[in-house]
Structure 1
Amino acid sequence: MQQIIRAKPPAARSGVAPGPAVRHVVVDEASAGQRLDNFLAKTLKGAPKSLIYRIVRSGEVRVNKGRATADTRLALGDEVRVPPVRLAARGEQALTPAREFPVVYEDEHLLAVDKPAGVAVHGGSGVSFGVIEQLRRARPQARMLELVHRLDKETSGLLLIAKKRSALTALQDQFRSRETGKTYAALVIGAWPAHKKVIDVPLHKYLTGEGERRVRAVAPGAEEGRRSITLVQVVQAFADYTLLDVTIKTGRTHQIRVHLAHEGHPIVGDDKYGDFALNRAWARGQALAGHRFARMFLHARRLRFDHPATGQPLELESPLPRECAELLQHL
């Protein structure tokens, strides 16, 4: 089930309606392995994530007649109870544009692209379309294109897409079992202590009142925390900033951003966990001799995994985007 997800305008209101009838949707091969919230985003076209999380938390959504959580993984043949949802009328929205992205690697099993910053990987939560929807429009002949993993909208770099169900399952198994190597380039504020090479701090994911995802560090042993491990290596030190190589051993939401900010060195340009005043100064060209920088300096630069069909190790690399490389030259 591949559908374009169009979010409604922020001013629109939505809610659970008394009709029409409840639907019982059986998970097909194309949706097997998806998280429940992403499955609902496709099924309830145009529903904002805040509504999806609300109906899941309230128990109105059921999987095989039992309660489930937003991150429940669906299996082939599962039956999902989808409650009736009424969405306010929306004006006609533009169709998803067809767009190709720079290809780093491609064969009949998988595709690796270099995602630019500022582009979501998929539609939803206020975003009408993302990388995957644009690729599907650009490649109508493709039988299947599914995201293997995700990158934050603000993060650039390597993104894997499966072209076969077998490849999707094999690659997601590698990601879940942490058998992949993901390394990011991050420019942080301040002088990172060279001896600080491991961050082992639990993280807790929560929703704001507007339904937006946020993450915070919690004390070791906290019931709501999930163990999260980040490895850090200093690449280059500047007067007031440090370029880091960051490798994640766990794949929590916003893990790098929260871990680095928790250590007192937020990422330059991070609009959720960073130094907001400094971010504005960078965006206006006031932080460094008139040089403007209006994005987050976090780039997925290297990805190691075993090929899902051959088992051969693959290592993909993406150079720093031009604006990031130019910033380092100015520093």
Structure 2
Amino acid sequence: MSHQDPTHLRPELRRGRAALSNRPGRFEAHQREGFADGWAEEDLPPPLRTELQSETPRRIITRNQSPDIGFDRSVNPYRGCEHGCIYCFARPTHSFLGLSPGLDFETRLTVKPSAPELLRAEISKPRYKVAPIAFGTNTDVYQPIEREQRIARGCFEVLRDFRHPFTITTKGTLIERDTDILGEMGRDGLVRAAISITTLDASLARSMEPRVPLPARRLKIIETLARAGIPTMVSLAPVIPGLTDHEIEPILQSAANAGASAAMMILLRLPLEVSGLFREWLEQARPLRADRVLNRIRETHGGAEYDSSWQTRMTGQGTYAELLHQRFRLSVKRLQLTTSPPPLRTDLFRVPPASGDQLSLF
């Protein structure tokens, strides 16, 4: 491709990014294709930089009724994710914004500064029914921009005040910053954390999830959280057939040694635009294994690269998928981990008095 190609960027322009291209999303009326026009090299655009824009939503709690998801509500303080994991199932959501699920997803991010205030208002309503709120289900709340934005921490401060249960799934070391909140709530049965580890191979991790802390560092996160009294799960998500599936046992062993008490596993999902982006990355990063990996993926999804059917979309189907889950179950049993942590407490929930409220005498 020429450097003038509007969707494919040269490596030096996308350093630290996983996607190779910025192809338009599925809702765009036109597709762009580059061609060699002979213009000089000095016309190269500057390297990609992360851009932020603010959004003020009307509400912050997102509800779902999916039968194969273990929560009914979540909060996402950010759209897009600078971690840039090539396999991220959330990439297609950028298409709703008129942006590319490719490099735009990693570089053009939306922040929601009002999230803590909206959260406080929603859970203060008299008709609100308490249940755990999930964080990190779409994009990582502890991606690098959280260091300055501190929106996730603001949400957790609200939930601490209300004694409201919540869960966090992350790959980010910034979670260690918040152990003052999470440790107290974890010891009271109000918080559970899951640390995602996809591979122990540092080179593969750096290519596949370029702005995520390396696997050894994520194991240290598990140690830190466990010492702080926070129930911590290791999340093998995703397991990539033919590429990382041989690491199921070593990852679980390493996580158990670090202090994880529970484990979960999700097979690779390639919905909508993610399929093409992942295939593009795979053929560039692991060209000799690309066909084998894609064949294994199809084998676990009924011959397709993705099947969105309830129940099987995250577990896969067929003999090969079942063998992977059997290995996972045997290893979990051997390491005395659990796949069903105790439910978080909801009986401690209370709405704290607002400024100016009259306090009860009883």
TM-score when scaled to structure 2? 0.28
Larger helix proportion, structure 1 or 2?
Answer: 2
Structure with the larger RCO, 1 or 2 (CA within 8 Å, 6+ apart): 2
Larger strand proportion, structure 1 or 2?
Answer: 1
